[in-house]
Chains A and B, each alone.
Chain A
């Protein structure tokens, strides 16, 4: 301690070599931290964009089933009614990114659950409408495939043409 006091007393007030090195390290650490914060924020915003697009894709799929139920629907066909939640489906592009390469594309999978006939007892008219449940799943670019995928669920209803 005596040694350090002696040092400060003798200090002529100018910057020395050690102070410069320490200053350099502080600036470097601050720069790295700022960049990491920027990248984190940017990635979070991209993630939100993908989430929003996934909702849009899910809503488009519900729209498809609403059209099917309304105009082109066989309510006796079990292949249609059971849904395809456990089946392999073609991927849909969720985030295109750089158009010159496919490597940064993020793909999602659109599946629908069982189509539920809803019968309101008070109407006494059989099936009143159908409930549609669509699920969109995808993995984020830095997410391991061994973890649970991101999930968006969208539910809609539609009356059939006969009703």
Chain B
């Protein structure tokens, strides 16, 4: 027990070795803390970007699904890239005697989906102030008949067994977005995440008399 007491009592100042080691340790500490904070910010940015993407993907899918559930007819045309122009025809919910049409399309240049009178599905997407190297991209926005472009083998085989009345009323919505954080310094690596949002809709009214405008 004597040795530590002597040590403490005689601690009158710093030796050169202590000072040097302290400086080295503090340098490591500051460097380590900086790396930790930068990595922390990177993780938060990535996580936030994926949440934003997820929110938008689900918004688009849900709104289009809702319109298709009430639609009486759908017309699909090819468009730029792997996207479709979708015209959703539905009965006026108030008057019940006229049909309205909602036009859906992907604006690849501005990375957004528009519908109706060129309205944006979500004005908050893409975020206005993206960081250096950050970008969003619409990879796919399609509406195709049941299992026409499905990766699932059983569904593709099942498609050949289904009646025309089913196939003409069952649609797959596929919306794929890619988020990239391009390297902004030499030796850096790109980080990319891609998500596909999917829904299957049975357009009920196509096989009901509501298609002919008879609702009462």
* A6 on interface, CB distance cutoff 8 Å: yes
Residues B47 and A98 in contact, CB atoms below 8 Å apart: no
Q: A17-B21, A20-B25 are in contact. Are A72 and B5 (CB under 8 A)?
A: no
Q: How far is the CA of A89 from the CA of B108 in the complex (A)?
A: 36
Residues A96 and B47 in contact, CB atoms below 8 Å apart: no
Residues B58 and A52 in contact, CB atoms below 8 Å apart: yes
Q: A56-B199, A67-B202 are in contact. Are A93 and B21 (CB under 8 A)?
A: no
Q: How far is the CA of A56 from the CA of B197 in the complex (A)?
A: 9
In the bound complex, residues from chain A placing their C-beta under 8 Å from that of B44 are 38
Residues B201 and A63 in contact, CB atoms below 8 Å apart: yes
Q: A3-B4, A24-B29 are in contact. Are A99 and B178 (CB under 8 A)?
A: yes
Cβ contacts B170-205/A at 8 Å (1 or 0 each): 100000001000000000000011111111111010
Q: A38-B40, A96-B195 are in contact. Are A71 and B169 (CB under 8 A)?
A: yes
Cβ contacts B154-165/A at 8 Å (1 or 0 each): 100000001101
In the bound complex, residues from chain B placing their C-beta under 8 Å from that of A27 are 29, 32-33
Q: How far is the CA of A38 from the CA of B11 in the complex (A)?
A: 41
In the bound complex, residues from chain B placing their C-beta under 8 Å from that of A90 are 152-154
In the bound complex, residues from chain B placing their C-beta under 8 Å from that of A64 are 146, 170, 200, 202
Q: A3-B8, A7-B11, A96-B195 are in contact. Are A67 and B166 (CB under 8 A)?
A: yes
In the bound complex, residues from chain A placing their C-beta under 8 Å from that of B207 are 70-71, 161
Nearest chain B residue, comparing its CB with the CB of A110: B152
In the bound complex, residues from chain B placing their C-beta under 8 Å from that of A31 are 32-33, 36
Cβ contacts A69-89/B at 8 Å (1 or 0 each): 011100000000000000001
Chain A's nearest CB lies how many Å from the CB of B163?
4
Residues A34 and B40 in contact, CB atoms below 8 Å apart: yes
Residues A67 and B11 in contact, CB atoms below 8 Å apart: no
Within 8 Å by CB of B51, from A16, A38, A45, lies A45
In the bound complex, residues from chain A placing their C-beta under 8 Å from that of B200 are 60-61, 63-64
In the bound complex, residues from chain A placing their C-beta under 8 Å from that of B169 are 67, 71
Residues A6 and B5 in contact, CB atoms below 8 Å apart: yes
In the bound complex, residues from chain B placing their C-beta under 8 Å from that of A95 are 195
* A100 on interface, CB distance cutoff 8 Å: yes
In the bound complex, residues from chain B placing their C-beta under 8 Å from that of A70 are 202, 204, 207
* B95 on interface, CB distance cutoff 8 Å: no
Q: A31-B36, A42-B43, A49-B54 are in contact. Are A97 and B193 (CB under 8 A)?
A: yes
- Which residues in window 1-43 of A have CB below 8 A to B? 3-4, 6-7, 10-12, 14, 16-17, 20-21, 23-24, 27-28, 31, 34-35, 38-39, 42
Q: A42-B43, A67-B169, A161-B207 are in contact. Are A60 and B26 (CB under 8 A)?
A: no
Chain B's nearest CB lies how many Å from the CB of A82?
16
- Which residues in window 82-118 of A have CB below 8 A to B? 89-90, 92-93, 95-100
* B9 on interface, CB distance cutoff 8 Å: yes
* B111 on interface, CB distance cutoff 8 Å: no
Query: 15 A–B contact pairs at CB < 8 A?
Result: A6-B5, A10-B8, A12-B13, A31-B33, A31-B36, A34-B40, A35-B40, A42-B47, A52-B58, A64-B146, A64-B170, A64-B202, A70-B204, A72-B166, A90-B153
Closest 10 CB pairs of A and B: A67-B202, A60-B200, A7-B8, A3-B5, A72-B166, A99-B194, A72-B163, A71-B165, A71-B166, A31-B36
